[in-house]
Chains A and B, each alone.
Chain A
Amino acid sequence: MTGRQLITDAQNTWCPGCGNFSIQHTLKNVLSDMEKEGKSLDDVVLVTGIGCHAKMADYLNINTFYTLHGRTIPVATGIKLGNPRLTVICCSGDGDSYAEGLDHLIFAAKRNIDITVIIHNNRVYGLTTGQYTPTSPLGFKGKSTPSGTAEYPFNPIELMLASGATYVARGYSKKMDLLKKLVGEGIAHKGFSFIDVLQICATFFPAADYYTPRVYELSDHDRTSFEAACMKAKEWDYNSDAGIALGTFYTRSLPTFDDKTGMHKEKTPDRTQALRDFLSTKL
């Protein structure tokens, strides 16, 4: 399908001012560029979890698998292994992949499966109307923690570096040009790509006034240096007051899980003969 209408007729129910709109437009632009470069969008799959971010599956007119809370990554892994020709992108939330499905995120990085994971990190549960997430700052007053959380947030950039991710980046929903560049790079990167997107939740965590003066784009940064990446990752810990680096922290080329384990061969050996051969060893 060429020149396809990329947005479906489904009614959009994100709040006005929601950072998800920026991510949606970013994806639309990246897909549109891919198509212009001759890539068939028939070969692209978007996998989403459950949460506000996940409505992306209804809104984009491409192959989608609208999965369960926290479970984008194992589904995406199965799709990529089942058909390694496909470009597989996950949109996932911070509640999704940092809480419910954290194990899958770490293992995807460890395996270096060639998928791109975009975390819509609004640092609050939106769809369930405002509870803290693993990246909410200490003392966050949500509906389940009315007197403030008693736990520090994760630093997902550090976590992904430690887990072996081969492309690690951070974007911001109010910096769309950079976001498009990062998503494009993430998709082009052969291996596990992780992009944490600081996304504004207009209703439950409108943090633009906090982020906008603090964010800056990484420059003079050696993205091939793991040590440099770790240093930059520690600068802002999702809790204390510091400059917030945006851009690509780290990238590295390694063999992928799907190269080794994926179903590249369309033809399988003659099953009946193989079964007979096997049974003859059991006589």
Chain B
Amino acid sequence: MKDISVLIGGKAGDGINIAGALVAQLLNKIGYSIYMYFDYPSLIRGGHNFAIIRGSEQNTGTCWNTVDFILALNSETIERHRERCSPETAIIFNADQVKSAGQGVKVNAILSETNAPPIMGNSAVIGGFAKAAGIEWDVVVAVFNAHIPKGVDLNLKVAKHAYDQLETVHAVSKGSQPPRALITGNEAIGLGMLRGGLDAYVSYPMTPSSTLLHFLAEQQERFGITVVHPENEIAVILMALGFAYAGKRAAVGTSGGGFCLMTEGLSLAGMAELPLVLVVSQRTGPSTGLPTYTAQSDLRFVNHAGQGEFPRLIVAPGDAEEALFWSEIAMNIAGKFQIPAFILSDKTLSEGTYSASPGRLQETQREDPTVWSGTPPYLRYADTPSGISPPAYPGMKDAVVKVNSYMHDEAGITSEEAALVNQMTRKRLRKWDVLSGEMLAYPGVMVSGNPDASMALLCWGSTKGVCNEIALLLGLKVIQLIVLSPFPVIQVKKAITGVKKLVVIEENATGQLASLAEQHGIIPDHRILRYDGRPFPPEDLMARLKEVIL
């Protein structure tokens, strides 16, 4: 077996995410590329949580409905996921909680024999799984040593008891991938921004962006950054613009609801020409919606948010490696062009765990714009051929740095004079043209699958994973847009050359990418949409594509 799916389920508070991460590391160590999906309702205790860990030979970002193993910490797991079982599915369960076919782990008995606290119960289930999957004991030891911060020896003792009690029923053969770092999409975004010179991250908690705040806050010493959690998202974006004015590279993170509060600050960034990166991780809306479930329904919002007209970059990475790569680019583009740059994520990407190659780490670095020459008078909004004015920062000798939300002249002084309004509007918009040209040098539109196929899937963001997988099975082409603004019309038109049937795949109810493409003269033939907060399982996309193919 070279492709393995493991579901672990229990109630909220059972530590499913942590247990899932250990299972993921076991598969990582035996040569698989990892993707882990974590599903949980918006509550602290109770309710059903589950994670699906997929190990495969190729990078993936999707989980099939059918799984090879179910690790059930409670009986609800068995009931809810019965339809995921095939005749070959092996069930490992906590025998104190569950009656089921399969192999039971006598968790309470093991805990009392080893004199271990209840919190170590999951180690017994993981040990049992390792044995059932034929994973060597040494691998379990290595993974526990690396990833359990406290009480490793006792956890191993607990796991070993279960390991010795169970039978290998579904031997998983070794894969060929070297072990790689397993990181979440949010961690990848954070690492990419750090690569791009992040100095300060400002954020108010909102799922599914919060784990980025937690990650950067926890790691601020290591990376020498400042992390601030202010009173609300309005303060968040304005504080970040304060950092930018002081010459620091700043980013904010939120989800759709928090971004609603940021729109006046976004427009200020556009007018004041301050660099800012905004991470918007989408969840199901409108309004509070489904806080812990995914969506791709804020593309239109992010693309149009803020009064007036000003340039913006929007990138939507499809997995952790792309998130790492593009978050760095977003930082550099924001800095160079002094514009807002969005990293548009979603719950699937932000909270999914992926294998990430560190190979990209050598490629690019923080790029700083050319600063002011130092000869007064300083003109913050000097009208240049590119529209980009050399920045200066308060504290620099003889620079009077005047930044203004009103229409202003080159020095930054308010003006309502008509000719000047025209001149400065054109100056700002010229940056958009220059940016559009510059983005041609980046891989903003990815084409994969069968290059000669007459049918292509058009997608963006985390649905890349499921589209690539199905395209491979059905012999289709995949066109994935990573850059969404400025809209990469030249690259998309090139990619659809020879395509007879263009099918847009999106996790929203109206086809937002489809509409955006239509604005640029690219007319999709079909829209396959899903909007229940759950990422497309490959089975579902396959079935719906077959209807379109016929």
Contact = CB atoms under 8 A, between A and B. Distances in A.
Interface of A: 1, 8, 10, 40, 42-45, 47, 50, 55, 57-58, 61-68, 71, 74-83, 85-86, 103-104, 107, 261-263, 265, 267-269, 271-272, 274-283
B115 interface: no
A66 B361 contact: no
Contact of B231 (A68, A104, A265): A104
Q: Which of A8, A82, A107 has the most CB of B within 10 A?
A: A82
Given A66-B406, A82-B199, A77 B398 contact: no
Nearest to A279: B181
B85 interface: no
B192 to A, nearest CB: 10
Interface residues of B, number: 65
A65 B222 contact: no
Contacts of A50: 405
B181 A79 contact: no
Interface of B: 28, 146, 179-183, 187, 191, 194-195, 199-200, 202, 219, 222-226, 228, 230-232, 234-236, 238-248, 250, 264-265, 268, 272, 356, 358, 361, 376, 393-406, 408, 412-414
Contacts of B406: 66
Contacts of B28: 283
Contacts, number: 187
B395 A42 contact: yes
A86 B394 contact: yes
B245 A82 contact: yes
Nearest to B401: A63
Nearest to B408: A66
Nearest to B224: A268
Contact of A278 (B219, B228, B241, B265): B219
A83 B396 contact: no
A50 B238 CA distance: 14
Given A82-B243, A263-B199, A75 B394 contact: no
Given A107-B231, A277-B222, A282-B183, A78 B394 contact: no
Q: Please name the 7 residue pairs, one residue from A and one from B, whose CB atoms are nearest each other, closest first.
A: A78-B242, A82-B246, A268-B224, A74-B238, A78-B239, A282-B181, A63-B394
Given A278-B219, A279-B183, A282-B181, A78 B231 contact: no
Given A63-B400, A64-B403, A75 B241 contact: yes
A81 B226 contact: yes
Given A79-B394, A261-B226, A279-B183, 18 more contacts: A42-B396, A62-B400, A71-B264, A75-B245, A78-B202, A78-B241, A78-B243, A78-B244, A79-B243, A81-B226, A82-B245, A86-B395, A274-B222, A275-B195, A276-B358, A277-B222, A278-B191, A282-B183
